[in-house]
């Protein structure tokens, strides 16, 4: 416990005399599953368990294929929108930070785009890479 923590603890003990010093037990070893969950929590797409299937039917261990779709909606002031897959299905969330080629001003409803599926920082399916389709 450093000096600041000790001072704060002593002040708290004055208000609550029954307060005990926390036991700083050594952390247990992390398993690969634990680490993958932690990585997913901060948006890392590489930590997904290998057995998980993506909605497109690909296994998570493969590099996701680029898919074609169009912009369904885009909220320029908020920096996100939704893509409509060319083959139908649920709309896919995307954030402007995932736009790798093209300009945000080109993201109008109906604009054709190429994208790869991934996961957002909460673990939901989202576009991990978006680019404006060549004309």
Domain that holds residue 106: 1-135
Q: How far is CA 66 from CA 35, 48, 119, 132, in A?
A: 27, 19, 15, 12
pLDDT category of residue 25 using cuts at 50, 70 and 90: low
DSSP-derived 3-state class of residue 45: helix
Residue 59 pLDDT exceeds 50: no
Distance in Å from the first CA to the final CA of the chain: 62
Mean pLDDT of the chain: 77
pLDDT, mean of residues 96-102: 87
Q: How many secondary structure helices (H) and strands (E) does the chain include?
A: 2, 6
Q: How are beta strands 99-101 and 125-132 bridged, if at all?
A: parallel
Question: How many domains, the chain?
Answer: 1
Residue 60 pLDDT exceeds 90: no
Residue 98 pLDDT exceeds 50: yes
Whole-prediction pTM: 0.52
Structural tokens at position 101: 């080629």
pLDDT over 70, % of the chain? 73
Residue 6 pLDDT exceeds 70: yes
CA neighbor of 123 nearest in space, from 32, 60, 67, 57 = 60
Structural tokens at position 111: 């604009």
Instruction: Decide: 62 and 45 in contact? Cβ < 8 Å.
Output: no
Q: What CATH number did the domain enclosing 115 receive?
A: 2.40.50.140
Residue 61 pLDDT exceeds 60: no
* Predicted pLDDT of residue 83: 93
Report pLDDT digits (tens) over 78-95.
Answer: 989 999 999 888 899 999
pLDDT, mean of residues 42-47: 48
Q: Which residue has the tokens 């897959």?
A: 85
């Amino acid at each position: 416990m450093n000096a600041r923590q000790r001072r704060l603890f002593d002040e708290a003990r004055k208000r609550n005399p029954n307060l005990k010093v926390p036991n700083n037990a050594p952390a247990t070893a992390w398993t690969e599953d634990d680490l993958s969950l932690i990585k997913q929590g901060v948006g890392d797409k590489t930590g997904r368990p290998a057995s998980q299937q993506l909605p497109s039917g690909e296994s998570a261990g493969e590099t996701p294929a680029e898919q074609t779709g169009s912009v369904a909606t885009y909220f320029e002031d908020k920096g996100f929108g939704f893509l409509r897959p060319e083959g139908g299905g649920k709309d896919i969330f995307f954030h402007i930070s995932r736009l790798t080629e093209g300009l945000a001003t080109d993201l109008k409803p109906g604009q054709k785009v190429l994208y790869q599926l991934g996961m957002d920082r909460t673990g939901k399916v989202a576009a991990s890479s978006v680019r404006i389709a060549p004309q």
